[in-house]
Amino acid sequence: DGGITQSPKYLFRKEGQNVTLSCEQNLNHDAMYWYRQDPGQGLRLIYYSQIVNDFQKGDIAEGYSVSREKKESFPLTVTSAQKNPTAFYLCASNQGQVGQPQHFGDGTRLSIL
Amino acid sequence: QKEVEQNSGPLSVPEGAIASLNCTYSDRGSQSFFWYRQYSGKSPELIMSIYSNGDKEDGRFTAQLNKASQYVSLLIRDSQPSDSATYLCAVNAWVDTGRRALTFGSGTRLQVQP
């Protein structure tokens, strides 16, 4: 089945630790996105990538990093510089053309230990 | 002013009634509008896309777009308890970093009472 796979489903971060969230898609989509959702709020864009080996900062990129070495994969690292990382993280993808909807993975819930 | 605004709710309707969810947006140049449904603890699921003025129907769902008034709405006919969720409006809009991006409202929580 085609889709977007995020792992792990739940993740716990210790003080000073970097953690990496995985996002893989087999939809042959060019563009991939990372969002953060806090309780009762909408989605805020962290980073996006429209092509392999290129990515752009979104609205809240500080404390996060990404890479796009393969079309199928867009991992997100939450660094120790992100002081309030507890949130629901969502990965999405689409063909990258303006006006197309995005489709989401199941999300990763990150908490601080 | 937020780019995309929704009433947070909860909007409570009895089973079988019509639920009406509204969304306003600030960018007059927006051309693409989407409704997502998000169950508690789950990821958003696309339920409707609309690109031109007027109504678009898909089963029990109807999306309505009025670009002159800058609002888009979602009607759910014959509401079922399984429709209880948060509904996110998303608009392809210019954002202040100088690019066009899919911008989400904070969602309206719908409760359908059996």
pLDDT tens digits, residue range A28-85? 999 999 999 998 888 999 999 999 999 999 989 999 999 999 999 999 999 998 889 9
Interface list for chain A against chain B, based on CB atoms closer than 8 Å: 40-43, 45, 48, 56, 58-59, 90, 98-107
List the one residue out of B79, B89, B73 whose CA is nearest residue B111: B79
pLDDT score for A113: 82
B9 within 8 A of B23, measured Cβ to Cβ? no
pLDDT for B12: 97
Question: What is the predicted pLDDT for the residue at B3?
Answer: 87
* 8 Å CB contact between A90 and A43: yes
According to the model, what pLDDT value does residue B97 have?
Answer: 61
Interface test with A, best of B40, B43, B65, B95 (most A CBs within 10 A): B43
